[in-house]
A = this chain, B = another copy of it.
């Protein structure tokens, strides 16, 4: 395909003039500008962005590290990021990790490779110490709060939100509460859930926590296990509405009434929760994602909190 040299030759000008036309510089005579534009149109020429990026040293590309792409919570974050990227004309590269630490580091190297201007970490598998070195090569934004000053954060106060849920359940008279989490205690949100629980109800009996819950089926299985405990929980907090939906389905299948026999609260206000009329702790992840993009683009290291909402429906 044609390149800038050919355009210059055909238009009878130098490459610098073509470059000036391309980049809308002033100080180009109208005649030359027109002549160059004519050739550009004739040749159907477009600059090679790769070459432009190389010389400019920036790519207008932002990576988003995401453990699971078939997960509503991460999809909401990604959706928020994409919302803004379209307006701002940035390209978004999705970087799935399945929480594999090596894969995550491999993705972070794209920053060093000059393939990315910034990276947004929706959830991480590596300790911050292993991530911090990469801030030297580009902006790193986290969707989880961290005090590290090198890292910009667009986050919500998970701990406070969990506290509110557990406190509400306590106020309603519940004493046997179960909950589900995605990962185990290697994850910040799991630790925060446990801390909030223990703040309200005291020491947790680990039998009442079910890890590895991501999808509907996981919720169903969790319901099966948790609802056969003695004493049976009268309320369960699920780390997602899909999981809550699975618990709901199992509970119904064994004849339990919601909410008389079992209160269910889900998370992230997803369609399945709306459909089953489940209460949901909405962390407003779309907004968090949008904010994360803005921080990334601005290379800001600010810490920005987005408020959560507790949506009460008939399941409580």
| Alpha-carbon distance A114/B45, docked complex (angstroms) | 12
Closest Cβ of chain B to A2, distance in Å, is 11
Contact A49 B115 (CB under 8 A): yes
Interface of A is mostly: helix
Per-residue interface assignment for chain A, residues 78 to 98, with 1 indicating a CB less than 8 Å from any chain B CB and 0 otherwise: 110010001000011111100
| Alpha-carbon distance A86/B277, docked complex (angstroms) | 37
Residue ID in chain B nearest A72 by CB atoms: B271
Which residues in B have their C-beta under 8 angstroms from that of A54?
A: 48, 50-51, 54
Contact B274 A216 (CB under 8 A): yes
A103 within 8 A of partner (CB): yes
Of B86, B248, B270, the residue contacting A96 (CB under 8 A) is B86
Closest Cβ of chain B to A118, distance in Å, is 15
| Alpha-carbon distance A155/B291, docked complex (angstroms) | 36
| Alpha-carbon distance A79/B248, docked complex (angstroms) | 26
Copies of this chain, whole number: 2
| Alpha-carbon distance A86/B103, docked complex (angstroms) | 9
Contact A59 B70 (CB under 8 A): no
Which residues in B have their C-beta under 8 angstroms from that of A246?
A: 275
Name which of A1, A94, A215 has the most chain B CB atoms within 10 A of its CB: A94
Of B59, B78, B274, the residue contacting A245 (CB under 8 A) is B274
Which residues in B have their C-beta under 8 angstroms from that of A275?
A: 216, 245-246, 248-249, 272, 275-276
| Alpha-carbon distance A246/B275, docked complex (angstroms) | 7
Contact B59 A69 (CB under 8 A): no
A242 within 8 A of partner (CB): yes
Contact B215 A115 (CB under 8 A): no
Of B59, B69, B76, the residue contacting A82 (CB under 8 A) is B69
A113 within 8 A of partner (CB): yes
Closest Cβ of chain B to A286, distance in Å, is 8
Of B47, B61, B69, B76, the residue contacting A78 (CB under 8 A) is B69
Which residues in B have their C-beta under 8 angstroms from that of A110?
A: 49, 91
Contact B47 A113 (CB under 8 A): yes
Q: A50-B59, A91-B93 are in contact. Are A75 and B69 (CB under 8 A)?
A: yes
22 A-B pairs (CB sep. < 8 Å): A46-B109, A46-B113, A48-B54, A48-B113, A49-B110, A49-B114, A50-B115, A69-B82, A70-B75, A70-B79, A70-B286, A82-B94, A82-B96, A86-B96, A91-B110, A93-B94, A216-B271, A245-B271, A245-B275, A249-B274, A270-B271, A272-B274
Instruction: Give A contacts to B, CB under 8 Å.
Output: 1, 46-51, 53-54, 59, 61, 69-70, 72, 75-76, 78-79, 82, 86, 91-96, 103, 109-110, 112-115, 137, 215-216, 242, 245-246, 248-249, 270-272, 274-277, 286
Closest CB pairs A-B (n = 7): A245-B275, A272-B272, A49-B113, A50-B54, A70-B79, A216-B271, A242-B271
